[in-house]
Amino acid sequence: MYKRTLVAALFLALFIVPGVASAQQLPPPPSQQQNPPRAPGQRFNVGLVHLVAAVTDHRNKFVTDLTQNEFEVFEDGQQQTITFFSRQANLPLRIAILLDTSNSIRARLHFEQDAAIDFLYNVLRRGQDQAFVMTFDNEPEVVQDYTGDMSQLSEVIQKQNAGGGTALNDAIYLASERLMDAPIPSAGAEVRRVLVVISDGDDNLSDHALSDAIEMADRSGVSIYTVSSNNDWVETDTETPQKVQFSEGDKILKELSDETGGRAFFPFRVDDLAQSFLDIGEELRSQYLIGYRPPYKEADGQFHKVDLKVLRKGLTVRSRKGYYATAPVTSPATSVAGTEHP
């Protein structure tokens, strides 16, 4: 079983961005930091903040020809100077599939299994991408470690049964940590980290709060894509079933996606997801990496709101909503919003 006692041991390094502030470091949450106390007058400087962004037009087609001058970034309402810009195409993917196997989704377990398998079939590329599968009921458990073998992933997903409580937040927290330690193709290579949650959004057993889960995803550079298995309040009399009211669990799934730059889906049938999964695969390979140095020098440990805008008319940009400015730890880790020594 994947034990909570392994949390601290799993917090390792990742997300190396070649040529950009290589001294940046990614700390654990304050409760797990083991930094020596600051000497009088000692300061820790915040390093570059990195944003991964996807841009679409009014037809929801991805726009991949934008330049640095067509973006603006604001932190806590103040415009910042973009100091790093690149188009990210065809990066290897590292994917976490989180499958809710609690008793509350028993009637929809087959839907969840089919959705997870369909996602991997549409997105995973042989020889380039890897995924692991984590189930969660009373506690999270990794049932399949990183692999690019689609048949192996599918077989494991189909074997799962439902029962027990729901520890959704713990699962997101631990999966984000595991993505942080994802295998990379070669030294210094870049990968995209994606977390797919298939659940009704309920949680009744987690040790971590929802804010903890979102924070860990932000620290790990993870985009969360959620698929709701809740078909309550769905209007089925129309040709295409429509969600007419969102449950509290649905709202949580949407918050997870919105805060990390992913997307939330509320399907009635697995077939409703086919085009969406194809779109996600294209999106993950049609993104921009944007970096800037924040306006203050000393890390304050607080969450800072970030607003990324695109100047070309008629376009929509999606990225994470902010980051935590945290002090460095003695680790070789690098981060999307980390810190560096002065």
Of the ranges 27-41, 155-169, 319-333, the best mean pLDDT one = 155-169
Find all residues with CB under 8 Å of 106, minimum gap 6, and list them. Answer: 162, 163
Nearest Cα to 302, choosing from 12, 75, 36, 2?
Answer: 75
Q: Give phi and psi for 59, each to the nearest 5.
A: -95, 10
**pLDDT of the residue at 45:** 53
C-alpha to C-alpha distance for 149 and 125, rounded to whole angstroms: 10
Predicted pLDDT of residue 186: 85
Give the pLDDT confidence score for residue 157 in this predicted structure: 98
Residue type, 192: R
pLDDT of 340 above 50: no
Specify the domain boundaries for CATH 3.40.50.410 within the chain: 93-283
**119-148 exposure pattern, b = at least 16 Cβ within 10 A, e = fewer:** bbebbbeeeebbbbbbbbbbbbbbbbebeb
CATH class assigned to 93-283: alpha beta
- Other C-beta atoms closer than 10 Å to the C-beta of 206 total 21
pLDDT reported for residue 6: 41
Write the pLDDT tens digit of every residue in 251-310. 999 999 999 999 999 998 888 898 889 888 888 888 999 999 988 767 787 889 999 999
H helices of the chain, in order, are: 7-10, 109-123, 150-158, 168-180, 210-220, 248-260, 274-283
CA distance linking residue 272 with residue 2, whole number of Å: 33
Asked whether residue 250 carries a pLDDT value surpassing 90, the answer given is: yes
Place of tokens 């048949």: 151
Asked if residue 13 has pLDDT above 50, the reply is no
Give phi and psi for 247, each to the nearest 5.
-75, 170
Q: Is pLDDT at 20 greater than 70 in this prediction?
A: no
Residues 6+ apart with CB under 8 A from 313: none
Contact between residue 48 and residue 24 where contact means Cβ atoms under 8 Å apart: yes
> Rounded mean pLDDT of 305-329?
86
pLDDT digits (tens, 9 = 90+) for 201-239: 999 999 999 999 999 998 888 999 999 999 887 888 887
CB atoms within 10 A of CB 155: 12
In the numeric block, the tokens 């993917």 are attached to: 93
